[in-house]
Amino acid sequence: MKAKEIQDLITFIAESGLDEVNIETESFKLSVKRNNLTFDSSKIQPSPVVNPVVVNTPQVIPPQVTTTVESKGATSTDESKLIAIKSPMIGTFYRASSPDTPAFANVGDDIKAGQVVCIIEAMKLFNEIESEISGKIVKVLVENASPVEYDQPLFLVDPS
């Protein structure tokens, strides 16, 4: 089973509300079990609300999920030229491989196609996310150690 098929299966399970799924073939056995956690809503702290960002599509990034980290200098980049690097899965976004190491990609960094730009932890697996485009990082759209959704924009890149 390919990684994309596993991601699609996890997404399906999350959306369907199933608590447990077991799949067994000749080549592998897969068991997915959802933890039904409860929490005290009085302990949740509200996150700051950020204006939604529109990236070359009519899709609006939800303000409750996105925090924008901008460079200190003013950017004169035309936002219609920017391309988003999006999350290929649901998980937790990390900018570096450990708290002691520098971030894979920062605002102003030049990146190349195939370069690791972040890590997304999903089901205790750390997945290196590679850029599919070359260019310059203009914005980091997600805070470190934040949850991300499938297809959520993580970085804005100026390909020119």
pTM metric for this prediction: 0.52
Which pLDDT belongs to residue 107?
Answer: 94
Structure tokens of 23? 């799949």
Which pLDDT belongs to residue 48?
Answer: 55
Which pLDDT belongs to residue 57?
Answer: 46
Tell me the per-residue pLDDT of 11-35, one tens digit each, with 9 for 90 and over: 777 777 666 777 777 666 777 766 6
CB-CB neighbours of 117 under 10 Å:
21
Ranges of beta strands (E only) in 9-159 are 20-24, 29-33, 83-86, 91-94, 110-111, 116-122, 125-130, 135-140, 146-148, 153-158
Domains of the chain: 3-38 (no CATH), 53-158 (2.40.50.100)
Of 151, 140, 147, 121, the closest CA to residue 47 belongs to 147
> For the chain, which residues score pLDDT lower than 50?
37-39, 41, 44, 54-75, 77
Q: Report which residue type is found at 71.
A: S
Rounded to an integer, what is the distance from CA 122 to the centroid of its chain?
11
Which pLDDT belongs to residue 52?
Answer: 52
Which uninterrupted H or E stretch holds 16?
helix 3-16
